[in-house]
A = this chain, B = another copy of it.
Amino acid sequence: MAGTIRKSARRVTAADVAEAAGVSRSAVSRAFTPGSYLDDGKRRAILRAAKRLGYRPNAMAAILQGGASDLVAIFAGEMPNDFDREVAAALVSGLNAIGKWPLVIGGDEATARRALANVLRYPLEAMILRSGSLDEGVAKSCAKLGVPVISSGRILHMPGVDNVCCRNRDGMADMGRLLIEGGRRRVAFVGGPETFWSAGERRLGLVTALHAAGLTLSADAMGAYTVQSGYDAAADLLAGPPFDALVCANDAMAIGALSLLRDRGIPVPEQIAVVGFDDIAMAAWPAFNLTTVRNPIDTLVETVTDLVQRRVETPTKPDETIAIDVSLVCRGTH
């Protein structure tokens, strides 16, 4: 369907406004700078002319001149599950709320890698990492350029990086103890490839709790943090030696595993307990009622935005590593 043909117009500049209002460009600049010396009547006249012409100060010029860019990149990775997408959405809102512009980079590794080189041409105030696999490389590139890096969801031991991360090991250790107290003895785990750093941490927490009780992991499966991969991993595990608890590195996989067990008619939690990590909204739905570990997104976002602000304010402040507390959410699958 065709519609109106439009004309492309040149952007209105301060000079245009100055001419229209019969003042100098300096005056126009002052009219848009709070707390600057300018006759009140003149200021009003300028703002009126600006509004009439549709003038907005060009951010590029202001930034080039030395102003804040307010640009913050988010390296979001592929966002394969709802938790990652929720975090990304919440980060965007949180950054908007503190007056920053999140410039989001997502998609597969090749696209992201290509994007990185180019996005660094923009004067970023910070780079937020949520990707997983490319993190070290990105952090190195940023460090070279003096762009502050905030890694969330995985701890990067590099100078020039602030870290925000939930207590993966503690959370999963608590979960392990809960299962053991509930009488479970043969515990299987569904983790992820090395690029999912948190999977390794969570596994470690579980193993620690098991060891303390004189137990070891019964089986180890590899997932991909998606529902489908949890479904498949559970099927693989069922083909092996029996187990009475299935600990998944995240809720998406736990929900997938739950579905598989239901399909096979295996009673949960009577025969096998199934638990996850994150406490996504879905985990609370009656259809799943999943026992899990709460990984609070709001706290994460607050911590990250706070870190962004403090880092921008004091670029030389020491690096920080902030841990976010998690807590057991006992529902019906353990």
Contact = CB atoms under 8 A, between A and B. Distances in A.
Interface of A: 1-9, 11, 54, 56-64, 69, 76, 78-79, 82, 85-86, 88-89, 92-94, 96-97, 99, 101-108, 111-112, 115, 118-123, 144-146, 159-160, 227, 255, 258-259, 262-263, 281-282, 285-288, 315-322
A328 B248 CA distance: 34
Contact of A11 (B3, B62, B86, B146): B146
A60 B64 contact: yes
A86 B85 contact: yes
A6 B99 CA distance: 25
A97 B121 contact: no
Given A227-B282, A262-B287, 5 more contacts: A3-B321, A5-B316, A6-B160, A85-B85, A259-B287
Nearest to A6: B160
A118 B101 CA distance: 10
A316 B69 contact: no
B101 A103 contact: yes
Contact of A60 (B3, B57, B63, B76): B63
A82 B82 contact: yes
B123 A99 contact: no
Decide if the interface of chain A is mainly helix, strand, loop or mixed. Answer: mixed
Most interface-central of A1, A121, A258 (chain B CB within 10 A): A121
10 contacts: A1-B322, A2-B319, A4-B160, A6-B316, A8-B315, A57-B121, A64-B64, A92-B104, A94-B107, A96-B112
Q: Give 7 closest A-B pairs by Cβ, nearest first.
A: A3-B319, A93-B107, A8-B315, A59-B121, A85-B85, A4-B159, A92-B106
A97 B69 contact: no
Given A60-B123, A121-B58, A287-B259, A6 B315 contact: yes
A56 B315 contact: no
Given A54-B145, A60-B69, A146-B11, A96 B85 contact: no
A89 B88 CA distance: 9
Contacts of A89: 76, 79, 85, 88, 106
A177 to B, nearest CB: 26
